[in-house]
Amino acid sequence: MTTPALLPLSGRRIPTLSPGASSFTHHRATLRLSEKFILLLILSAFITLCFGAFFFLPDNSKHKRFDLGLEDVLIPHIDSPKEGKHASGQVVIHGQGGHDEHRHRGRQEGAEQESLRDKIRADHERALQEAKEKLRKSREELQAEIQTEKNKVMEDLKKTNAGPKPLPPVPMPRVVGINDGEPPEPDVKEKRDKIREMMKHAWDSYRQYGWGYNELKPLAKKGHSTNIFGATIVDALDTLYIMGLHEEFKDGQEWIEQNLDFSVNAEVSVFEVNIRFIGGLLAAYYLSGQEVFKLKAVQLAEKLLPAFNTPTGIPWAMVNLKSGVGRNWGWASAGSSILAEFGTLHMEFVHLTYLTGNPAYYQKVMHIRKLLAKMDRPNGLYPNYLNPRTGRWGQHHTSVGGLGDSFYEYLLKAWLMSDKTDTEARKTYDDAIEAIERHLIRKSNGGLTFIGEWKNGHLERKMGHLACFAGGMFALGADGSPDDKAGHYLQLGAEIAHTCHESYDRTVLKLGPEAFKFDSGLEAVAVRQNEKYYILRPEVIETYWYMWRFTHDPKYRQWGWEAAQAIDKYCRVSGGFSGVKDVYSSTPTYDDVQQSFFLAETLKYLYLLFSSDDLMPLESWVFNTEAHPLPVLHLGNITLPGSEPAQR
């Protein structure tokens, strides 16, 4: 088996042996013996010199230590032995104070220095003893040792070239409701068939004009990519499978087997790669059982881990897949990481630990959760920016739309995906939603409930299309709400769904704008030209689907069908589907991009909206923020590597 290009050969660090080095002559053995003797003498002298110099080192107890008091926060996965919590919730390092502590610390450091001297003496004696033993050996014995070391190097190289280590066998989670779901009503079935035809048009156009590229330009009828390839293929796989388009699914699988390569020298978004590629590959694996998807997901995940090498353990926004060097977006509040990006890793990383047995993935995301739990939150709200170097919040801007949205979604879904055993995630979600409801959710003069954005101490009465997902989130989280608030949150979800439908209904095209305001007499309407576009986004339809599942109110299917008809009428072109630049214009211009999430999310949620509830039942599946379904882990008494047993 050849080693995939994704995995760097550790053997590259080992010098290769020339063909002539396989046999050693009498002369070479003599020369090596002399060299070894000289080297051992030099090594012995060097150790003796270092040992003597140790006693002339300055006493570090006389130097005051610069201590930020943030060891537990700024050093990932290391807990400080003197850690405690201030009344404010901030972590502090307790000190004893006074001369007693200084004397105690001095005695302690003196004992530590003596212990270190003893260790150096022991190491020195051991090195001298090993040198003497080497010099007593014959030339033949030394040759045999050299040959043994050579053989070991060659064995290591063989193991390295044998390919990636096979993943441990783990029980496949219960997979139910992955096909069919045909509705009993003929008119609903007709609508579902139409959605399937739209998916076929989008996929076939991409297959013909943009195959292997990230996304399709449907008017130009060509593909375009940024720095990694095949996003549409990976994003669309599970939708194809759920819709029963198995030939198309097979085409995508073959491309992934033969062409999906992560060894490129390219900088990628950790967030986007996680939700689209890792999420899409994991979902395809669970639906089809094909090992290639699991292996590719793990190969890619290994490439993301260097992004976590920051002083706080909060990952960089971007990482170079080849070098592992990370950095943040230049525009993000003085080099901060973004809440919705580093907070939208939990679902996929838990499944990676489950499938690989590697605790690193689970530990990375749990460290982020623990760090956030220790931090002060203004008004109980999570700002959208956090500096990965200092562990401090950036600009105090809080949003349930862009920059914040999926952080809250993943708190709830971590609880659901754990079979409702991760009560810490549920409590964090409940606390966050309580603060959001208190400070961000308002009702307009016209009676529309909306979610504003907190900026610099005041509420901006504007809601983004991205925030419309929250209606579905409130409905999904209603069951299990504290203080018997299930009915309240289901109603709140319905109100958000109504507001977002109004944002669609008040446009010419019956498609929603990117953002809409609630002031100056205008409600649920975009004001700025650069907020009037629709790029095939799924969030409103996502909320319709969740509300349908929990209420079976027929209006949600009606609203979903209105959106589907508008997309088919105004966004469909001969080469696929395109976004439009102005939903208030009767003659819109196209942006000429068929977004990969249109196939991953928008069409999937529409198809599920017109399917029966036994297709992808919510008791068994949790959808990531790119609509890739991951199974609930019914672990029972099994615990993830690196985790503590879950408490119900």
In the prediction, which pLDDT does 127 show? 72
Tell me which residue has tokens 């959760």.
369
- Whether 4 has a pLDDT exceeding 50, the answer reads no
Can you tell me the mean pLDDT for 97-106?
47
In the prediction, which pLDDT does 121 show? 78
Note if 644 is an active site residue: no
Of 304, 284, 303, the closest CA to residue 293 belongs to 284
In a domain, 241, yes or no: yes
Contact indicator for 436, 467 with CB cutoff of 8 Å? no
In a domain, 228, yes or no: yes
Q: What share of the chain in percent tops pLDDT 90?
A: 69
In a domain, 153, yes or no: no
The model carries a pTM of 0.76
The tally of domains found in the chain comes to 1
583-629 pLDDT tens trace: 999 999 999 999 999 999 999 999 999 999 999 999 999 999 999 99
Band of the pLDDT at 167, cuts 50, 70, 90? confident
Band of the pLDDT at 82, cuts 50, 70, 90? very low
Among candidate residues 235, 341, 409, 514, the one labeled active-site is 514
Among candidate residues 238, 539, 591, 601, the one labeled active-site is 539
Q: Under 8 Å CB-to-CB from 138, ≥6 apart: which residues? A: none
Strand spans (E) along 374-460: 385-386, 397-398, 441-443, 449-451, 453-455, 458-460
Q: Under 8 Å CB-to-CB from 238, ≥6 apart: which residues? A: 280, 283, 284, 287, 600, 604, 628, 629
Rounded CA separation 297/280 (Å): 9
| Phi-psi map region of 519: left, alpha, beta (phi>0 left; psi -120 to 50 alpha) | beta
CATH code of 508's domain: 1.50.10.10
Can you tell me the mean pLDDT for 504-517?
98
109-131 pLDDT tens trace: 566 667 777 777 777 777 777 77
The three-state (H, E, C) secondary structure of 526-579, written as one string: CCCHHHCCECCCCHHHHHHHHHHHHHCCHHHHHHHHHHHHHHHHHCEECCEECC
216-256 pLDDT tens trace: 999 999 999 877 789 999 999 999 999 999 999 999 999 99
Note if 531 is an active site residue: no
Note if 514 is an active site residue: yes
CA distances from 18 to 33, 150, 156, 264, 613 (A): 21, 12, 17, 30, 66
Q: Under 8 Å CB-to-CB from 63, ≥6 apart: which residues? A: none
Q: What share of the chain in percent tops pLDDT 70?
A: 77
The three-state (H, E, C) secondary structure of 49-112, written as one string: HHHHHHCCCCCHHHCCCCCCCCHHHHCCCCCCCCEEECCCCCEEECCCCHHHHHHHHHHHHHHH
Contact indicator for 363, 413 with CB cutoff of 8 Å? no
In a domain, 613, yes or no: yes
147-158 pLDDT tens trace: 776 666 666 555
Q: The domain containing residue 499 runs over which residues?
A: 186-631
Tell me which residue has tokens 């066998």.
169
Among candidate residues 235, 248, 267, 272, the one labeled active-site is 272
In the prediction, which pLDDT does 138 show? 74
Note if 272 is an active site residue: yes
- Whether 482 has a pLDDT exceeding 90, the answer reads yes
In the prediction, which pLDDT does 323 show? 96
Tell me the CB-side half-sphere exposure of residue 4, using CA atoms within 13 A: 20
Rounded CA separation 440/460 (Å): 9
Can you tell me the mean pLDDT for 187-201?
98
> Is 25 annotated for ligand binding?
no
CA distances from 80 to 83, 96, 368, 392 (A): 5, 16, 16, 19
287-342 pLDDT tens trace: 999 999 999 999 999 999 999 999 999 999 999 999 999 999 999 999 999 999 99
In a domain, 160, yes or no: no
In a domain, 528, yes or no: yes
In a domain, 265, yes or no: yes
In a domain, 467, yes or no: yes
Among candidate residues 235, 341, 405, 422, the one labeled active-site is 405
Residue 454, helix vs strand vs coil: strand
Band of the pLDDT at 461, cuts 50, 70, 90? very high
